[in-house]
C-alpha cells in the first residue's frame, strides 16, 4: 500500500469580474444583503465568445498544476474530473480535457458529486494510487455555472452566490507513508436530493416536453436550493466529518495548519471555525472574490493557500465539503 500526495496545483478563473453592484442592476438585491448573508463581494462569469468552458478552464488550471509538478501529460495514468456543469450532457468533460492536453487512452472519468466533487475525486485518486494501480493522477474541479443561473429576482437566492472557475492538482505516489493523504471520509444521503438540485430536463421529462408545455412558471431547468435547510445541514455535516478526520488521524484541532472548507457561504465557514475554535490563520476563505464555484472551490482555494505560502512541508491540511445530494466529506493531508 502506498500513500498519495499532491505535487502540483493550479487554478484558472475567467477574467470577467461580476460585482454585487453589477447584479443590483439586474436583480432586486443589494451589496449589503449579499455580503451580510454570504460574504461574497464579486465572482467570475465567463463571457460568450471568451473561449471559456468547463473543459477549457479545467485545461488551463491543469496545465499549471502539471508544470509545477514537473509531470508531462503523457505521464498521467488517470484523469478525474469533478463537475456539475460538464460542457455536454454527455460525454463528460474529463475526456475533453484529455484531448486538450494532447493525450489519449489514459482513463478520464467524471465525478458527479457537486460541491463535494473534488473531495470525492481526491479520495478516488488516493485509492488508485494506494493499491499501486496508478501512479500519476490529475484531479480537477471545474464549473461553468453562470450561463445556467436564473439572473432575475426570482433566482436571487442562488444567482448571487455562484461563480465560474477551475482548480486542479497532480497526485502521485508518496515516498513514505508518513506524508500525503492520511485519511478520507465520504458520505451521502439521498433523502434530501431535491433540496439542492436541478431536476429538469430529466429522463422522465426531456427538453422537447418542457418546450411543448411552454409553461412560463416552469423553472425546473434552473438550480433550486432550499437555502436555510441546506445551511443547517451543512453546518452539522461539516462539523461531523472534520471531527471524523481528527479522530482518524489523531490530530488535535490546534494542530490543523489550514482548513480549506468548500466555499459555500462565508457564514458557514465562520460557524465551523467557531465550533472548532480555530484561529483566522487556520481557515482559508476566498469566497469574497469568487463566490461559490462548487467543485472548483476547494482546488482554487487550495492552490491560493499554497501560492501564499500557507501550505509548506509539514503542514496539516484539512479539506472539507458539503453539498447537493446531500454529499459531504473530508480529506486529511500531511503535506
The answer to whether the beta carbons of residues 68 and 188 sit under 8 Å apart is no
Task: Work out the number of other CB atoms within 10 angstroms of the CB of residue 272.
Answer: 20
Distance CA 314, CA 256 (A): 11
Binding characters for ligand UT7, 124-143, by CB under 6 A (x = yes): --------------------
| Residues near 25 by beta carbon (within 8 Å), at least 6 away in sequence | none
At 164, is the secondary structure helix, strand, or coil? coil
**Active-site option among 262, 265, 285, 286:** 262
Stretch binding ligand UT7 (CB under 6 A), from 47-55, 264-272, 276-284, 302-310: 264-272
Is 262 in the active site? yes
144-157: buried (b, 16+ CB within 10 Å) or exposed (e) per residue?
bbbeebbbeeebbb
Least distance from ligand UT7 to the Cβ atom of residue 229, Å: 8
Q: Is 240 in the site for ligand UT7 (CB under 6 A)?
A: no
Is 292 in the active site? yes
- With CB under 6 A as the contact rule, the residue among 192, 197, 227, 310 that binds ligand UT7 is 227
Stretch binding ligand UT7 (CB under 6 A), from 9-17, 229-237, 269-277, 304-312: 229-237
Stretch binding ligand UT7 (CB under 6 A), from 59-67, 180-188, 252-260, 261-269: 261-269
Indicate the length of the chain as a whole number: 335
Is 106 in the active site? no
Strands (E) across the chain are located at: 4-12, 17-19, 42-44, 78-82, 108-111, 137-143, 165-173, 180-188, 196-197, 224-225, 258-261, 316-323, 327-334
Stretch binding ligand UT7 (CB under 6 A), from 142-150, 154-162, 174-182, 250-258: 154-162
- With CB under 6 A as the contact rule, the residue among 96, 138, 160, 311 that binds ligand UT7 is 160
**Active-site option among 115, 136, 233, 265:** 115
Q: Is 299 in the site for ligand UT7 (CB under 6 A)?
A: no
Show the cell assigned to 61: 488550471
Least distance from ligand UT7 to the Cβ atom of residue 227, Å: 3
Q: Site residues for ligand UT7, window 29-48 (CB under 6 A)?
A: 29, 33-34, 37-38
Q: How far is CA 171 from CA 10, 119, 127, 180, in A?
A: 12, 13, 11, 9
Q: What does residue 334 show for φ and ψ, rounded to 5 degrees?
A: -95, 105
Positions annotated as catalytic residues are 115, 262, 292
Q: What residue ranges bind ligand UT7 (CB under 6 A)?
A: 29, 33-34, 37-38, 115, 156-157, 160, 227-228, 230-231, 234, 264-265, 268, 292, 323
Amino acid at each position: 500500500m502506498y500513500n498519495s500526495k499532491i505535487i502540483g496545483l493550479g487554478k484558472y478563473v475567467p477574467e470577467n469580474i461580476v460585482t454585487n453592484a453589477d447584479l443590483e442592476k439586474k436583480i432586486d438585491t443589494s451589496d449589503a444583503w449579499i455580503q451580510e448573508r454570504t460574504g461574497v463581494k464579486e465572482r467570475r462569469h465567463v463571457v460568450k465568445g471568451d473561449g471559456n468552458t468547463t473543459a477549457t478552464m479545467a485545461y488551463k488550471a491543469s496545465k499549471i498544476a502539471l508544470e509545477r509538478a514537473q509531470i508531462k501529460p503523457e505521464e498521467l495514468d488517470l484523469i478525474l474530473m469533478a463537475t456539475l456543469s460538464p460542457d455536454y450532457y454527455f460525454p463528460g468533460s474529463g475526456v475533453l480535457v484529455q484531448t486538450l492536453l494532447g493525450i489519449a487512452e489514459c482513463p478520464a472519468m467524471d465525478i458527479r458529486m457537486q460541491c463535494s466533487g473534488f473531495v470525492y475525486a481526491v479520495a478516488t485518486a488516493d485509492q488508485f494510487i494506494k493499491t499501486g494501480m496508478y501512479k500519476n493522477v490529475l484531479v480537477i474541479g471545474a464549473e461553468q455555472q453562470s450561463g445556467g443561473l436564473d439572473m432575475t429576482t426570482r433566482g436571487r437566492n442562488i444567482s448571487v452566490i455562484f461563480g465560474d472557475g477551475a482548480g486542479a492538482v497532480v497526485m502521485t505516489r508518496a515516498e513514505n507513508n508518513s506524508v500525503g493523504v492520511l485519511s478520507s471520509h465520504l458520505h451521502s444521503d439521498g433523502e434530501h436530493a431535491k433540496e439542492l438540485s436541478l431536476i429538469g430536463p430529466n429522463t422522465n421529462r426531456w427538453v422537447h416536453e418542457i418546450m411543448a408545455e411552454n409553461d412560463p412558471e416552469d423553472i425546473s431547468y434552473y438550480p433550486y436550493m432550499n437555502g436555510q435547510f441546506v445551511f443547517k445541514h451543512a453546518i452539522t455535516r461539516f462539523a461531523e466529518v472534520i471531527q471524523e478526520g481528527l479522530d482518524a488521524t489523531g490530530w488535535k484541532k490546534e494542530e490543523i495548519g489550514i482548513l480549506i472548507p468548500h466555499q459555500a457561504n462565508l457564514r458557514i465557514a465562520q460557524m465551523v471555525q467557531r465550533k472548532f475554535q480555530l484561529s483566522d490563520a487556520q481557515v482559508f476563505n476566498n469566497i469574497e472574490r469568487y463566490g461559490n464555484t462548487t467543485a472548483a472551490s476547494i482546488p482554487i482555494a487550495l492552490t491560493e493557500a499554497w501560492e501564499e505560502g500557507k501550505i509548506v512541508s509539514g503542514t496539516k491540511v484539512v479539506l472539507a465539503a458539503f453539498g447537493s445530494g446531500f454529499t459531504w466529506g473530508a480529506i486529511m493531508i500531511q503535506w
